[in-house]
Amino acid sequence: MFANFDFDVIRRSLGYLFLDGMTFTLTLTGLATLGGIIFGTLIAMMRLSGSWLLSRIAGLYVDLMRSLPLVLVIFWFYFLVPYIGQWLTGAARPVRVGAFASSLITFTLFEAAYFSEIMRAGIQSISKGQPAAAQALGLTYAQTMRYVVLPQAFRNMLPVLLTQTIVLFQDTSLVYVLSIPDFLGAASKVAQRDGRLVEMYLFAALVYFVISCVASFGVRRLQARIAYVH
Amino acid sequence: MRPSRRDDACIDRANTNGAGSSVAGARTATLNYHWNWHVFWEPSPNGTGTYLDMLLSGLVLTIETALCAWIIALVLGAIVGVLRTLPSKAASWFGFAYVEFFRNMPLLVQLFLWFFVLPELLPRPWGLWLKQLTNAPFYTAAIGIGLFMSARVAEQTRSGINALPRGQRAAATALGLTTPQTYRYVLLPMAFRIILPPLTSEFLSTIKNTSVAITIGLIELTAEARAMQEFSFQVFEAFTAATILYLLVNIVVVVVMRFVERGVAVPGYIGGK
Amino acid sequence: MKCLRMLGLASGLALAAVLCTAQGEAEELSGTLRKIKDTGVINIGYRDSSIPFSYLDDNQKPIGFAIDICLAIVEAVKKQLKLDKLTVEFNPVTSSTRIPLLANGTIDLECGSTTNNPDRLKQVAFTNTHFLTATRFISRKSSKLNSIEDLKGKSVASTSGTTNIRQLTEANAARNLGINIIPAKEHAESFLMVETDRAVAAVLDDILLASFAAGSKEPEAYVISTDAFSKPEPYGIMLRKDDPAFKKVADDATAALYQGAEGQKLYDKWFMQKIPPKNLNLNVPIGAELKKAFAKPTDSPDPDSYKAM
């Protein structure tokens, strides 16, 4: 069955695959997670705030992002971001945005909707006594959030946030639709150039599998360790 | 999309005009894009009608693929979920391995494995037959997405069954029911009612995941929007239409599932009034 | 005395005015030239696998006939703007992203195998033609497909966003062929479909088909059809529309290149000699029509205007 397969092609392209492809994927995952959590927390706070307007806007944003396929959102932002940049900065021509920046913006904004739902659940799971006590101590809303509520919410939801990060890591492979060179894109380029589809795709599947497995195993261990009873 | 904004400043033009759009279209100096909402009624190059027909045929294919994948996911997922809750160690381990296999690989990679790798690993005549099937992308997408989602349905089923009070299983044993009978008459009916809301969002996920099949050549809604953009150069009109159609599908599914939930709810239990 | 002073003042003002306007005109850059002067960078869009026009060599660097032409344009821009340093950045594009990326400013020049036709001229501009090619299909000799009619009811691949897939789609509808059209993201993928027997034929520009056949594992197994979907159409380097200053620089640079000896040398380098990465010689002598288009550079989209005398 594996007679005329040339697995040497994997060895020859390891440098390109990992130095170019995997760094792109991991950098994108890391930065998008960071941005997504920050932006997601903001949106969660907007939804839980007293203001009807803020709450509606945040709700609509989350509903919109969760109803659309990621592939469509990737297409939207790839073509749209330079024009938005032009409108925002009042520039004379569309702002030049490269593939990485465009992907980063797409994933940050898309995943922020999912992160916001997680953070919202986290904030709501904190017992009401906490912010009440903070208010009794004279802390402002900002201080309550910063020192009392968010740290606890974040710690509670850490396993779920990390699981969503693993999902993000897998989702980055979708930039393939625009021929952007992430890990899968790099594997694909080598595969098509040398006609070695089987070898490269099997290898790519193996790498994704190992990384996700190890990461979710780590998350499970973490979950067991930080779980405490209220 | 945001309407046009007139701007007096001297702006250099990098225009993207719509093909054959001498008809209505506002030129926006700031956005440098020529809108043409009439493009939906212009004939598309593949002779099957207007661009709107193209998008609608993509929508039909999206729904067909999603439904087929969902049926596969429900059946397999329920079986595997049950396996994971069985007392037998072997079954439990198999269920665990199944779920881990499908959850730790991106959907795109899985589709590539089924579409590109599998036919090459089979004996040559079978591989050729697979490759030359007329609707190969559709079958591959339905089965690939179905298997991917089945892992998630399995997890939901498992948590649904585990959420039931332990007394249920004990009472069933006390009544003399065998394990299959326990699952069939006591555990599964209630478990499914519990997990109906998460299952709804899994179904919506399935619909969204059909767009990933654009990479193996399935010409569903997102792919048709892309083709429309390539033929007519009206990027934003095409994608806006696709966005609206996805939102509509979402709303329909959510409303229908709400009726189903209310229909099957057991009065006085879990959510039923 | 007063007269003299008035005269002096007047001539001084006139001189100042002349100097100022001259200064003003020299700095009155707009469009792409202004962008290049402001940022010091020019962005070139290249293709993955449009051999030998624009493709990646073994070190993943873009090379090709069109890339060399673009570098000549970059030299001309550098001279025109009197820049000491002009950084060239390469951006990958595909058939379906090249026009949107040119429009939204990600690239300034698209150097590949893009056909110049009236439809596209509504969105972009092209500089002088650098090649002529017709749309044909490639298939395995064993499939015995000779004419377009033989493709009836079969699976045929083509690259999305190209004139080829559009011509195939229109021919399919007009002649009622019932072809199952498989769109691919890049040219290499289209050919791969034929190699792996997923499609019986791939429809692309004939020069690209020749390159793929020559570079494949068994070049003798493939045949390019004599039947064509179109007349020989011109390739051009794409630029943004409504940017006459930049177009003039590009037109002048390409005209100088084609008319001079450099042009013929460049053509021979890519079509008559061994090229990376597999050291193949495509052996395509310059055709009479292209020779005429080099002697009298033109950016006409009309295939009929290229007929040799």
Q: Which CATH architecture has domain B49-264?
A: Orthogonal Bundle (1.10)
Q: What is the pLDDT of residues B76-120, one digit of tens each?
A: 999 999 999 888 899 999 999 999 999 999 999 999 999 999 988
Domains plus CATH for chain A?
Answer: 15-182 (1.10.3720.10)
Q: Which of C60, C94, C195 sits opposite A179 (nearest CB)?
A: C94
Residue A217 has pLDDT above 70, yes or no: yes
Class of the CATH-defined domain C31-132+234-306:
alpha beta
d(CA A76, CA A84): 11
For C256-292, b/e burial (b = at least 16 CB within 10 A) is ebbeeeebeebbeebbeeebbeeebebebebeebbeb
Q: Which CATH architecture has domain C135-230?
A: 3-Layer(aba) Sandwich (3.40)
The predicted complex's ipTM stands at 0.88
Which one has a higher pLDDT value, A14 or B202? B202
CB B212 within 8 A of CB A174: yes
DSSP letter at A176 equals G
Q: How confident is the model at residue B7 (pLDDT cuts 50, 70, 90)?
A: very low
Domain ranges of chain C: 31-132+234-306, 135-230
Residue with tokens 């001189």: C15
Amino acid at A183: F
Reading the block at residue B217, the tokens are: 């050549």
Q: How far is A36 from chain C (nearest CA, A)?
A: 25
Q: Which of C103, C155, C197 sits opposite B128 (nearest CB)?
A: C197
Which residues have C-beta within 8 Å of that of residue A137, sequence separation ≥ 6? none
Residue A161 has pLDDT above 50, yes or no: yes
What is the secondary structure of chain C as a DSSP string?
A: -HHHHHHHHHHHHHHHHHHHHHHHHHH---HHHHHHHHHSEEEEEE-SEETTTEEE-TTS-EESHHHHHHHHHHHHHHHHHT-S--EEEEEE--TTTHHHHHHTTS-SEE-S--B--TTGGGTEEE-S--EEE-EEEEEEGGG---SGGGGTTSEEEEETTSHHHHHHHHHHHHTT---EEEEESSHHHHHHHHHTTSSSEEEEEHHHHHHHHHHSS-GGGEEE-S--SS--EEE--EEESS-HHHHHHHHHHHHHHHHSHHHHHHHHHHHTSEETTTTEE---PPPHHHHHHHHS------GGGG---
CB A215 within 8 A of CB B104: no
Question: Under DSSP, is residue B16 helix (H, G, I), strand (E, B) or coil?
Answer: strand
Q: Do A179 and C186 touch (CB under 8 A)?
A: yes
CB C113 within 8 A of CB C50: yes
In this prediction the pTM is 0.83
Residue B8 has pLDDT above 50, yes or no: no
On chain A, the residues whose CB falls within 8 A of the CB of C49 are 192-193
Residue from B68, B256, B265 nearest B150 by CA:
B68
Residue C144: left if φ>0, alpha if ψ -120 to 50, beta else—which one? left
On chain B, the residues whose CB falls within 8 A of the CB of C242 are 12-15
B79-B80-B84-B89 Cα dihedral, nearest 10 degrees: 100
Question: Under DSSP, is residue B80 helix (H, G, I), strand (E, B) or coil?
Answer: helix
- Residue A185 CA, distance from chain mean position: 18
Q: How confident is the model at residue A5 (pLDDT cuts 50, 70, 90)?
A: confident
Residue A222 has pLDDT above 80, yes or no: yes
Residue with tokens 């797409």: A106
On chain C, the residues whose CB falls within 8 A of the CB of B17 are 122-123, 241
Question: Under DSSP, is residue A69 helix (H, G, I), strand (E, B) or coil?
Answer: coil
Nearest CA in chain C to B10: C30
Which one has a higher pLDDT value, A87 or C257? C257
Q: Do B230 and C160 touch (CB under 8 A)?
A: yes
Q: Which of B17, B45, B48 sits opposite C166 (nearest CB)?
A: B45
Q: What is the pLDDT of residues A9-27, one digit of tens each?
A: 788 888 888 888 899 999 9
Q: Range(s) for CATH 1.10.3720.10 in chain B?
A: 49-264
Nearest CA in chain C to B232: C119
Mean pLDDT over B233-245 rounds to: 89
**What is the model's pLDDT at position C214?**
86
CB B127 within 8 A of CB B119: yes
Cα–Cα–Cα angle for A224, A225, A229, rounded to 5 degrees: 80
